[in-house]
Chain A
């Protein structure tokens, strides 16, 4: 033993050993134990015996069973509706020659800069009881029920348009990589526009469509904000159900079981997606790839129909954004009456936001959480990637897989894991109770951002010429000096882009925050959600001002990462 130690141990290795130990502790206490605890809580009783009580409770709870059924129905329905809309808008902007396609693309891309709880609030403003649509409908049908925008159809409608952003990102990229010479070859052999689309273009896109469909189903299963805000009592899905169960001490095992169910289904779906990604990508064999040229629809009737639907969809996408921006500059009276006059425009709302503590506090809280968590995750991931890069062995592989766990699990399960694990002192968390503290949300934010940050940072790290490190070593530089002076500056643009994307997405996080937020320090997503419950004009206008600020920040972030150096990040994102 002593000989082995003498051979393998030197004091110069001590910092490295400490770093590995800290990282191991972090992975165990934040990524593995909380999630295992969900399984433990579900199937092990307080006395330590195996139990199926939670399963029995679930089977005998009509609400819980209904929420599971609803989630599955929603996921399957979204797989159909999102694909119809998503494929249509991508073809309209990228494949067919449609007049004004650049403007259409901008409209269809609006969901990239606003989503989640803000988007749902926007839709509620337009389609809700006092909304614009009802105003028009009431003039035609004065006796109609204004509360129609609720339940399954409302959730399906909102989510269909909200998550076509995946199509706009992934399918657009896929269609742009199609070798146009294959289209020309088919044309040369006499194939019609529709035959080419059906037999040449769509088959190449199929793996991406399938992968995006699974992503859509995962999002549908885990839906939180849409069912909470427009689902009403008639259409509640699993996540809101877990939220309400987790707040009842006697039903926490049920919350754990439901989150476990969500986790399992998500893992299965994402595994299928990875298989599709692995097997199904068509690699062009073309020597000289040609950029796709937009196809003109020669049939006038079809052309008109496609133009009509493109602009109809454009309106659906753009209307909430335009109204949110316009009404964010109007007074409460305009909001209440849904009328716009020149006199009603004011900057008062924005001035109030930045001068009233009640209004700016949620932004401040979210900003602090997002920035700190994003920096935290970058530090953890940089250390991890350095280890993965330097030591290619079974342990570094295990570490990498462990860090990717949150990618496979829904936020809800991660939140439940934290809630049930750290509501009592644990020696591996220095006997501190984290539930109800500010730190628990920070830790959870870090956890959910690890997989994306890891994938991006690893890609950046592994694209560095290996010889650079050898060269620095050959010139006498230590590992730390090489890392700080050579490697880190090279990957810094990618790291900054990832940092910006992480901050941006955490700023309005809702799914995780709703489980773990500190009541005094409400983050923005949770606060906006609470405003939507009380639909008075002041609350609505505040929501819109928040929405505009978030949209500006998101647009700036996308612009920043979409520059040449950030393109790769965007593709992965």
Chain B
């Protein structure tokens, strides 16, 4: 469906994107993930046509769209700020693209009502000013405005970033449902790893204008190919050389102590009943406990260990600051770079 072939984008001497190769399957929810300034929005804007690549080609269904004008690409975009036109009401905002295309009025009305129903906007809301809508409703107007032109691809540039945490989760789910319902290929930009992991079929992790890894959320999380991906996604512990040697000694594994070693916080557990014989066991002192509601995070320390681990909250307080607890680390969970 979408293919980026060795795409490079330069702004003057600054290389914003280098050697970008992406393949997106039809109907996929594909996320561009990375920290601020890594090039994810630039990639999106290059696909939509706002930015011309300095090198490389972009194909949609094997058609080269690299030089194609924006309006001919049939790619719709939802902007971070939604970019709703403040002087037009909701109906006029949604109908804008059709009006530009000189679609007959009756046809415009029919299609606006259809799309409004799909994104769950009522008839009353269509007559409102966009400033009178809530953040969630505004987002739906932006999506309706984008979808009404029946684009082949929908691009979303951090559409949830302006919303509060609770609404973000709610709209995230609605977004995914809508995408499934419409079945449109979607390219989604975010710096929020949780959003990327929960929404995506595929994720491309960006770093400094370069793609570090493309894969399913599970692959990205559990089999991070690079140190950057490993440390960027999820909560991670760095394991020192001494600790790696101790693990090797205890379990007979041959992990390389010279490499940078990491383990995810949830892969470390406080030992109650030892069941995994292949894991290394350490005595540690609890230095801090943070309560998150759903889970509890422990800060633990010993001679070679300064580590965090999480445990599901059971409601029974069994561990206190200053207690000595045993933790187990399975060498199979350690990622080395």
Contact = CB atoms under 8 A, between A and B. Distances in A.
Interface string A473-498: 11111000100011001100000000
Interface in B183-235: none
Interface in A443-499: 465, 467-468, 470-477, 481, 485-486, 489-490
A412 B50 CA distance: 47
A476 B83 contact: no
Contacts of A474: 48, 70-71, 75-77
A472 B81 CA distance: 14
Contacts of A471: 77, 79, 83, 85, 145
Contacts of B48: 474
Question: Which of A473, A475, A486 is most buried by chain B, counting CB atoms within 10 A of its CB?
Answer: A475
Given A467-B80, A467-B81, A470-B50, A476 B86 contact: no
Nearest to B101: A476
Contacts of B88: 486
Contacts of B145: 471, 475
Interface string B34-76: 0000000000000010100000000000000000001100011
Given A474-B77, A475-B145, A475-B149, A468 B100 contact: no
Contact of A486 (B70, B75, B81, B87): B87
Given A472-B96, A473-B70, A476-B100, A486 B85 contact: yes
A380 B75 CA distance: 36
B97 interface: yes
Contacts of A486: 85, 87-88
Question: Which of B48, B70, B76, B87 is most buried by chain A, counting CB atoms within 10 A of its CB?
Answer: B87
Given A475-B96, A475-B100, A475-B145, A490 B79 contact: no
Contacts of B85: 468, 471-472, 485-486
Given A470-B79, A474-B76, A490 B86 contact: yes
B77 A490 contact: no
Contacts of A490: 86-87
A471 to B, nearest CB: 4
Interface string B146-171: 00010000000000000000000000
Interface residues of B, number: 21
B79 A477 contact: no
Contact of A489 (B76, B87, B149): B87
A88 B101 CA distance: 62
Contacts, number: 50
A17 to B, nearest CB: 19
B83 A465 contact: yes
B121 to A, nearest CB: 18
Question: Which of A468, A476, A481 is most buried by chain B, counting CB atoms within 10 A of its CB?
Answer: A476
Contacts of B75: 474
A473 B75 CA distance: 11
A476 B71 contact: yes
A478 to B, nearest CB: 8
A475 B81 contact: no
Interface in B11-39: none
A467 B45 CA distance: 11
Contacts of B96: 472, 475, 477
Contacts of A467: 79-81, 83
A353 to B, nearest CB: 40
Contacts of A475: 71, 76, 96-97, 100, 145, 149
Contact of A477 (B76, B80, B100): B100
Contacts of B70: 473-474
Interface in B71-119: 71, 75-77, 79-81, 83, 85-88, 96-97, 100-101
Nearest to A464: B86
B32 to A, nearest CB: 17
B149 to A, nearest CB: 7
A486 B88 CA distance: 8
B129 to A, nearest CB: 13
A389 to B, nearest CB: 16
A483 to B, nearest CB: 13
Contacts of A473: 50, 70-71
B173 to A, nearest CB: 25
Contacts of A485: 85
A474 B80 CA distance: 14
A9 B3 CA distance: 31
B96 to A, nearest CB: 5
Contacts of B97: 475-476
Contacts of B149: 475-476
B262 to A, nearest CB: 38
Nearest to A474: B77
Interface in A413-471: 465, 467-468, 470-471
A471 B142 CA distance: 10
A470 B101 CA distance: 17
A476 B150 CA distance: 13
Nearest to B73: A474
Contacts of B71: 473-476
B100 A481 contact: yes
A32 to B, nearest CB: 31
B53 to A, nearest CB: 17
A565 to B, nearest CB: 12
A481 B77 CA distance: 19
Interface in A196-210: none
Contacts of A472: 85, 96
Contacts of B50: 470, 473
A472 B48 CA distance: 13
A481 to B, nearest CB: 7
B196 to A, nearest CB: 22
A291 to B, nearest CB: 27
Contacts of A481: 100
Contacts of B77: 470-471, 474
A6 to B, nearest CB: 15
A347 B76 CA distance: 66
B61 to A, nearest CB: 19
A471 B94 CA distance: 12
B83 A468 contact: yes
B93 to A, nearest CB: 9
Contacts of B81: 465, 467
Contacts of B76: 474-475
A489 B70 CA distance: 24
A477 B100 CA distance: 6
A246 to B, nearest CB: 48
A472 B96 CA distance: 8
A470 B44 CA distance: 13
Question: Which of B48, B80, B97, B149 is most buried by chain A, counting CB atoms within 10 A of its CB?
Answer: B97
A392 to B, nearest CB: 12
Nearest to A476: B71
A468 B87 CA distance: 11
Contacts of B86: 490
Top 5 closest pairs, chain A to chain B, by CB: A475-B97, A467-B83, A471-B83, A489-B87, A476-B71
Interface of A: 465, 467-468, 470-477, 481, 485-486, 489-490
Given A468-B83, A468-B85, A485-B85, 7 more contacts: A467-B83, A471-B83, A474-B71, A475-B97, A475-B100, A486-B85, A490-B87
22 contacts: A465-B83, A467-B79, A470-B79, A470-B83, A471-B77, A471-B79, A471-B85, A472-B85, A473-B70, A473-B71, A474-B48, A474-B76, A474-B77, A475-B71, A475-B76, A475-B97, A476-B71, A476-B97, A476-B100, A477-B100, A486-B85, A486-B87
